[in-house]
């Protein structure tokens, strides 16, 4: 049985105030093309379908269109909610969609009944466990000793009555200890949301969601497929992909990935203003990509963002890396400050803030300015 594993679509997300909806529409169409070519029996979507619990109407329309196209391919679709989703909203209409082969996990309840698919080797049982916190499980089992996230997930799995002779697949959306996080993820203080990998031992394949970098934890079949798009500059080096899982007889699983190429990539470049605006430099780049630009000029460039956007229209982030930013000093005043002239005060402040002295041109400008202000007060 061939499965396509997706997660963390984050439809409706904004990155540095840029809407990603256009990019998401594009990449979801690419995924449909891959599904058409690969012909999986099922698509697993492991949470964070939307970026917000109450997604904008445009985001809902994008996901609706995606589901409709998947359903036309005559395959089964399994969807669980993540920590960014509202489980109630995501599951709306689930019982009606079930007949069309689209299975939406409801809010967590005591009993999770698997959906069974058949192939030449027999049954494959698909379990859907949405994002849960200890309190969610504690409400259902008030007498259970549940304190940590590991306790919660372990107890929820223990209620599933898994037949380990069969082939079992789990969709879940949690942080498994040992996985590598990115800046674009929601992080709990101190890693208190971490779950031990051994709670998933009864499953042949665990389709994880929540972590944005493609990776596996402890074993190859305990896997994060990652996001289909880059959602922070910490992900610049990530190779986004779809995870394809081929399950033959019990214990025989093959995994491979298919690269996803975005409409616009996310890149980081660094240099002086003159270096980055040289034609010989920017002609080698895809200028429509999203950029984080770091300037190394010691002096701030007036209206630099507007000037750079003439060449790089999709600048998401701009900052400086120079002596001033490397050696930011705490500015403090002492009694001797009262004895300084206005120009000396400004020069002292400038040196503390920028870690360099005023130039002669700057001094002359400031001296003339101070004299004009002083004359106006006489």
Query: Measured between alpha carbons, how far is 144 from 137 in angstroms, rounded to an integer?
Result: 9
pLDDT of residue 360: 82
Among candidates 140, 90, 86, which has minimal Cα distance to 110?
A: 140
pLDDT of residue 350: 75
pLDDT of residue 303: 94
Does residue 363 or residue 320 have the better pLDDT?
A: 320
pLDDT of residue 378: 44
Q: How does DSSP classify residue 337?
A: G
Query: Measured between alpha carbons, how far is 141 from 156 in angstroms, rounded to an integer?
Result: 10
pLDDT of residue 49: 97
Residues above pLDDT 90, as percent of the chain: 73
> From start to end of the chain, where are the E strands?
2-6, 14-15, 18-19, 42-46, 76-80, 102-104, 115-119, 122-129, 167-173, 175-176, 194-195, 205-209, 215-217, 219-224, 241-247, 253-259, 266-271, 290-295, 315-320
- Judged against a pLDDT cut of 70, whether residue 30 lies above it is answered with yes
Does residue 364 or residue 87 have the better pLDDT?
A: 87
Cβ–Cβ < 8 Å for 4, 242:
yes
Give the length of the chain.
378
318-361 per-position pLDDT tens digit: 999 988 777 654 445 555 666 677 777 788 777 766 667 888 88
46-60, 137-151, 335-349: least confident range: 335-349
169-184 per-position pLDDT tens digit: 999 999 999 888 777 7
Strand partners, 254: 246
Residue whose structure tokens are 């922070």: 232
- Give pTM, 2 decimals: 0.83
62-66, 91-95, 354-358: least confident range: 354-358
186-237 per-position pLDDT tens digit: 665 445 688 999 999 999 999 999 999 999 999 999 999 999 999 999 999 9
- Judged against a pLDDT cut of 80, whether residue 296 lies above it is answered with yes
pLDDT of residue 193: 83
pLDDT of residue 181: 77
Q: What is the mean pLDDT of the chain?
A: 90
pLDDT-derived band at 263, boundaries 50, 70, 90: very high
φ and ψ of 59, to 5 deg? -65, -40
pLDDT of residue 189: 47
pLDDT of residue 335: 54
- Judged against a pLDDT cut of 70, whether residue 125 lies above it is answered with yes
């Amino acid at each position: 049985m061939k499965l396509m594993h997706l997660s963390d679509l984050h439809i409706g997300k904004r990155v540095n105030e840029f809407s990603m909806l256009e990019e998401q529409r594009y990449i979801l169409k690419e995924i449909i093309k891959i599904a058409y070519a690969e012909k999986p029996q099922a698509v697993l979507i492991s949470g964070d379908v939307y970026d917000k619990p109450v997604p904008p109407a445009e985001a809902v329309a994008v996901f609706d269109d995606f589901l409709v196209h998947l359903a036309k391919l005559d395959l089964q679709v399994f969807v669980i909610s993540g920590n960014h989703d509202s489980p109630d909203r995501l599951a709306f209409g689930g019982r009606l969609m079930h007949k069309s082969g689209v299975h939406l996990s409801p809010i967590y309840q005591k009993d999770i009944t698997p959906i069974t698919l058949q192939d030449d080797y027999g049954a494959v049982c698909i379990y859907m466990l949405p994002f849960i916190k200890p309190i969610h499980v504690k409400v259902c089992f008030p007498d259970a000793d549940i304190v940590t996230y590991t306790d919660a997930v372990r107890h929820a799995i223990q209620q599933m009555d898994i037949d380990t002779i069969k082939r079992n697949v789990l969709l879940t959306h949690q942080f498994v200890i040992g996985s590598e996080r990115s800046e674009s993820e929601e992080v709990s203080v101190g890693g208190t949301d971490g779950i031990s990998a051994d709670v998933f031992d009864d499953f042949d394949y665990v389709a994880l969601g929540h972590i944005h970098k493609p990776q596996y934890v402890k074993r190859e079949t305990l896997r994060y497929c990652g996001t289909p798009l880059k959602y922070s500059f910490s992900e610049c080096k990530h190779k986004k992909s779809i995870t394809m899982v081929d399950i033959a007889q019990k214990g025989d699983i093959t995994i491979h990935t298919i690269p996803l190429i975005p409409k616009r990539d996310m890149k980081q470049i660094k240099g002086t203003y003159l270096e980055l605006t040289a034609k010989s430099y920017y002609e080698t780049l895809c200028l429509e990509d999203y950029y984080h630009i770091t300037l190394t000029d010691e002096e701030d460039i007036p209206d630099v963002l507007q000037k750079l956007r003439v060449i790089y229209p999709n600048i998401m982030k701009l900052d400086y890396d120079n002596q001033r930013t490397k050696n930011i000093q705490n500015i403090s005043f002492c009694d001797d400050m009262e004895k300084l002239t206005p120009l000396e005060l400004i020069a002292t402040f400038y040196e503390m803030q920028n870690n360099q002295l005023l130039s002669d041109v700057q001094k002359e400008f400031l001296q003339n300015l101070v004299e004009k202000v002083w004359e106006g007060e006489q």
